[in-house]
Amino acid sequence: MKKQVLFYLLIFVLFSCKNEHKEEVLQKNQVIKLPPRQIKIDKNNLIGFACFYSGKKSEPVEKFTEILLKKDYSNIIKNLKAKNIADKYLATAICEKLSQKKLINLTEEELNQIKMNKNSSEKVSTCAGCTNNKTMTLKELLLEKNYISEETEEWLNKIIK
């Protein structure tokens, strides 16, 4: 009798182990959805005033904030032709604001460069918090109303008085 009980217990344990292995195998063969690939963002070519979880300004915005606070307007004008699109965007937006406030006088060449920048299809990454990340053209940023153009206006109004 003891041998029979022991035999049944052994068989029960073996069968239960096989079922666990089958479940593991099924889990391994199931298709698992992976999260979307993270896009690598060049932080030097990013426009944002409250980026990612930290809510910080992007590096170009920080850089131009310092330049504006120093009132180094010639450095801003030089960036109208920058290779870095974020710098070009910020320089264009700032020069227009400074010109409106009569803080700088732009040459005909600089005004033409601003027009070219406003029609440019060059793209720059933008961010607003942890959920709103897009790539936009300079034309979209400078001529259309969007979250970046609104934040840029707000930022400039705080710094340029």
What are the strands, taking DSSP E only, across the chain?
46-51, 123-129, 132-137
Range from 31-35, 84-88, 119-123 carrying the lowest mean pLDDT:
31-35
Per mean pLDDT, which range of 4-8, 69-73, 74-78 is the poorest? 4-8
Residue 88 forms part of a structural domain = yes
Average pLDDT on 133-160 reads 92
Q: What is the pLDDT of residues 100-144, one digit of tens each?
A: 999 999 999 999 999 999 999 999 999 877 666 788 999 999 999
Report which of 15, 32, 48 is spatially closest to residue 127, judged by C-alpha positions.
48
Domain assignment present for residue 31? The answer is no
Asked, for residue 102, whether it belongs to a domain, the answer is yes
Flag whether 40 is in a domain. no
The model's pTM is 0.73
Give the pLDDT confidence of 19-28 residue by residue, as tens digits: 444 445 455 6
For residue 82, the 8-state DSSP code is -
3-state DSSP assignment of residue 132: strand
Question: What share of the chain in percent tops pLDDT 70?
Answer: 72
Q: What pLDDT, on a 0 to 100 scale, did the predictor assign at position 20?
A: 46
The pLDDT mean for the chain works out to 83
Judge whether 52 lies within some domain: no
Supply the Cα-derived Rg of the chain in whole angstroms: 29
How many domains does the structure of the chain reveal? Answer: 1
Tell me which residue range forms the domain holding 81: 57-159
Q: Please list, residue by residue across 2-39, b when 16 or more beta carbons sit within 10 angstroms of its beta carbon and e when fewer do.
A: eeeeeeeeeeeeeeeeeeeeeeeeeeeeeeeeeeeeee
Residue 70 lies in a domain: yes
Return the SS3 of 56: strand
pLDDT at 43: 76
Q: Is residue 89 part of a domain?
A: yes
pLDDT at 54: 74
Residue 74 CA to residue 52 CA, distance in Å, equals: 31
